[in-house]
Structures are given as C-alpha cells and as structure tokens.
Amino acid sequence: AQSVTQLDSQVPVFEEAPVELRCNYSSSVSVYLFWYVQYPNQGLQLLLKYLSGSTLVKGINGFEAEFNKSQTSFHLRKPSVHISDTAEYFCAVSDRSGGGADGLTFGKGTHLIIQP
Amino acid sequence: KAGVTQTPRYLIKTRGQQVTLSCSPISGHRSVSWYQQTPGQGLQFLFEYFSETQRNKGNFPGRFSGRQFSNSRSEMNVSTLELGDSALYLCASSFGRSGYEQYFGPGTRLTVT
C-alpha cells in the first residue's frame, strides 16, 4: 500500500514570486507519480507525471517537479506564479508493479493562494 | 477530442434512496475509475473498470457498485444512501491501465438530506 503526504495544507505566495509545493510518498514498491490541479467546482487536471527516465519533469502552465527516490519526494515548483494559479493541488501515486489496477492514491491537497 | 463527461452534475437525494451516476470516457479510452472526494477524507479510490471488468475496488461498503458497458461508458450506483455519502464523485478515464495517466471529468455533486 502507498501513502502520500502533502506537508502544507495552504501556501500563500505573492504574485510573480516562486513557489514550491511539497509532496512525500511512502511505498514498498516502485511507483508512478503525478501532480493534479483542481479549480473551484471543476474536476482534476493533470499537471505533470513521472513514469520513468529523467527525474526532472516539466508540465503545463510552467510547472515542473523533481523525483527524488532517496528522499521519496516529488516536489512541485513554479518560478513565477500568477493569480490564475490559485487552486488546489494534489500529489498522487500509483503502484508501478500492479500495472495501475489499484487506482491513484492522493495526498490531502495543498491550497495555493496567490496574493496580488 | 471531447473530454470525460459526467451526468448529472448535481443531485439531491434523501437518505435511504439509491442513485446512479453516469460517466462517458474520452473516445478510445478503455479504463474508467471512480473516486469520492469529501472535505474530511479527501480523494478516495472507489473502483476501476477495464474492458467491462472490475479490476479493483477501494475500501468502500457493498452499497457502492458499478459497471462498464461495451462502449466503455460506466455507471456507478449507491444504494441505501447515507448522509455521509454526500460528496463529489469523480470519474477518470485512461487509454490503458489506469495507473499510468488518468483524465478526470467535472464530477457529480451528490447531496444526501
């Protein structure tokens, strides 16, 4: 079984400042890693994913994340945020060995608040 | 390409009733997964269907069930509704196995009174 910890439930940041949303996972097997974003009254949109290869992955809207196997982390970063980035961000993992049949395990989410 | 669609978007039911939610995946996607989202428990995996077969189920009571049709459309049913079933129910589809990459619909907001 896996678990995901998003260390910050809420992160306030000034517009145009950089931001890092932290995610740590626990798993006894190899995993795939994902970041999703949820805007109010909407479903989840995939920001980026790590399946294999380079540990630095780039996603949509200028976001990137780095997979660190030794620290079991997958932190999300953006060098300069905009008001439109205000949303809930979810880190998720799935079991690589199970072929994905177990679905995604999500963290509790981090509410990113952009202040003008 | 059209995204994942879910109907209805909003639903109000009374305790003890049953409800059926519908999900149409992205064209060509064969896997459909369902998730429940609540403020207290967050996002929790309900079950996944691939080629009309349920491959896995999360830790939910038997009141929660689902099925998938030959065109990959899926339905989720909750019987004997309880107040705690009030939640946003999200459907997600993927081309192959669901663990690789899932695309989510807008969800159905279920309120049980």
Verify whether the Cβ–Cβ distance A46 to B33 is below 8 Å.
Answer: no
Q: What is the mean pLDDT of chain A?
A: 91
| pLDDT, tens digit (0-9, with 9 covering 90-100), for A66-101 | 999 999 999 999 999 999 999 999 999 988 766 555
| Phi–psi pair at B64, nearest 5 degrees | -95, 125
Closest chain B residue to A6, measured at CA: B42
The 10 Å Cβ neighbour count of residue A114 is: 19
Question: For A103, which of B4, B58, B101 is closest by C-beta distance?
Answer: B58
CB–CB of B110/B89 below 8 Å? Answer: yes
Q: Which residues of A touch B29 (CB under 8 A)?
A: none
Structure tokens at B18: 């049953």
pLDDT confidence band for A109 (50 / 70 / 90): very high
| pLDDT, tens digit (0-9, with 9 covering 90-100), for B45-92 | 999 999 899 988 899 999 999 999 999 999 999 999 999 999 999 999
d(CA A5, nearest CA chain B) in Å? 12
